[in-house]
Amino acid sequence: MSAVQPDDPAGDWTAPGTYEVAPGVYRIPLPLPQDGLRAVNVYAVRDGDGLVLVDSGWAIVEARDLLERSLKALDCSFADVRRFLVTHVHRDHYTLAVTLRREFGMRVSLGRDESATLAAAQDPEYEPWGGLLIQLHRGGADALGREMLATVPSQHDVRDWDGPDDWLDAPGTVELDGGTWEMHPTPGHTRGHVVFVDPARDVMFAGDHVLPRITPSIGFEQAPAALPLGDYLRSLRLVRELPDRRLLAAHGPAGPSVHARVDELVEHHDTRLSQARAAIEAGASTAAEAARLLRWTRREHRFDDLDLFGRCLAVTETMAHLDVLAAGGTLRRTDEDGVHHYVTGQSSRT
């Protein structure tokens, strides 16, 4: 692995390397298997005579080997990693930390509100896609669920979901050798998602809460909240009320302003709520039907042009928007055999 490189926000953010994004802070993109995102950023932070890593990557050989080589550019090894601060319990953020801890003994910290998802993953009867299948059923998309089970491997190792060394209670602080970080609760993407702020370096480690180029999925977890989009929008408002910082996100290049991106995300969801309502007014009844009437990604893809996982997320995210509209009284929701149906009118649930 070559020496530390300057970060180029206009370059390919997924290219392997060790990129300095702030004094003593280094962005290390690691590969993801079977994922359109292609990479996840792990941030290595110099702290005293060791390192703290924000998020860890997916527990695959390719990610482990690349992280090891990337740390060598800092004249460090896994033995120098004192702690992982994990923003949320998704596989690409948590599982490599647990794997490395078994060998090197570093401390792993995770938000307490991820405990329900972690407990589900530790259940011997756990179905890795169970949470998604439930949501797809509610969205009227059982056929997509069956296709997922037939074509996507589960890849579940109970050891990947061993518990953290300590639970983080947000809001709060994290005491490091080099100073005190802030920690803020940002549920929505997952129930226990947190972001970390290093005031001295003027950066926010935003995990998947604020992404610079894409909109985060909402409520993609084993035990989603009742109204994950409502939680997410409140979390965006909370972050917008904090002092603005440089954005260090899990997927995408470093950004100059958390606030600027939050404003774009709020505008996106306002637009999406209007579009979701229009889809129901046009005759859609379920989230699956509404999702087919919408366009997706920055390229405005049609629903059928998305890959399988993208179609699944399109249904669940459409349902998240429809449920916010129903909770606010813009739509009326009824449940038939566990499938959510929506019409215009006052909110009512059965």
Q: What is the reported pLDDT for 293? A: 97
24 pLDDT above the threshold of 90: yes
- In this model, does residue 348 exceed pLDDT 80? no
Tell me whether residue 39 is in a domain. Answer: yes
Look at residue 160 in the predicted model and tell me its pLDDT.
83
Q: Given a cut of 90, is residue 317 above it in pLDDT?
A: yes
Residue 180 sits in a domain whose CATH number is 3.60.15.10
Q: What is the pLDDT of residue 35?
A: 58
For the chain, the domain total comes to: 2
Q: What is the pLDDT of residue 155?
A: 62
Do 231 and 187 reside in the same domain of the chain?
yes
- How much of the chain, in percent, has pLDDT values that exceed 90? 82
Same domain (yes/no): 46, 140:
yes
Q: Is residue 300 part of a domain?
A: yes
Q: Which residues contact 65 (CB under 8 A, 6 or more apart)?
A: none
Same domain as 69, residue 30 = yes
Q: Which residue type, as a one-letter code, is found at position 95?
A: T
Instruction: Give yes or no for residue 309 having a pLDDT over 80.
Output: yes
pLDDT at 314 over 70: yes
- Give me the chain's average pLDDT, please: 93
Residues 245 and 279 in one domain: no
Mean pLDDT of 8-33: 95
Give the residue, 158 or 147, on which the prediction is more confident: 147
Per cent of the chain over pLDDT 70 is: 95
pLDDT at 223: 80
Q: Does residue 349 lie within any of the structural domains?
A: no
Can you give the CATH number for the domain in which 289 is found? 1.10.10
pLDDT in tens, 32-84: 986 567 899 999 999 999 999 999 999 999 999 999 999 999 999 999 999 99
pTM: 0.94
Q: Tell me if 158 is assigned to some domain.
A: no
User: Cα 14 vs. chain centroid, distance in angstroms?
Assistant: 17
* Residue 346 confidence (pLDDT): 55
pLDDT digits (tens, 9 = 90+) for 149-204: 888 666 666 778 899 999 999 999 999 999 999 999 999 999 999 999 999 999 99
Query: Looking at the domain assignment, is residue 196 inside a domain?
Result: yes
What band does 349 get if pLDDT is binned at 50, 70 and 90? Answer: very low
Which of 208, 226, 258 is where one domain is finished?
258
The pLDDT score that the predictor gives to residue 59 is 95
Same domain, 29 and 109: yes
pLDDT beyond 80 at 259: yes
225 vs 269, higher pLDDT: 269
Residue 95 has pLDDT above 70, yes or no: yes
Question: 12 with 47, same domain?
Answer: yes
My answer on whether 221 and 277 are in the same domain is no
Last residue of a domain, one of 258, 279, 298: 258
Domain of residue 301: give its range.
266-344
Whether residue 57 sits in one domain with residue 82: yes
Alpha-carbon span 68 to 76, nearest angstrom? 9
Is position 10 within any domain?
yes
Cα dihedral across residues 149, 152, 155, 156: positive or negative? negative
Within a domain: residue 247? Answer: yes
pLDDT, tens digit, 9 for 90 and up, residues 218-232: 988 888 888 999 999
Name all contacts of 101-107 with Cβ < 8 Å and 24+ positions apart: 101/162, 101/165, 102/159, 103/78, 104/78, 104/79, 106/78, 106/81, 106/82, 107/82, 107/83, 107/165, 107/166
Question: Are residue 37 and residue 117 in the same domain, yes or no?
Answer: yes
End of a domain among 258, 289, 315?
258
3-state SS, 211-249, equals CCCCCCCCCCCCCCCCCHHHHHHHHHHHHHHCCCCEEEE
| pLDDT score of 350 | 43
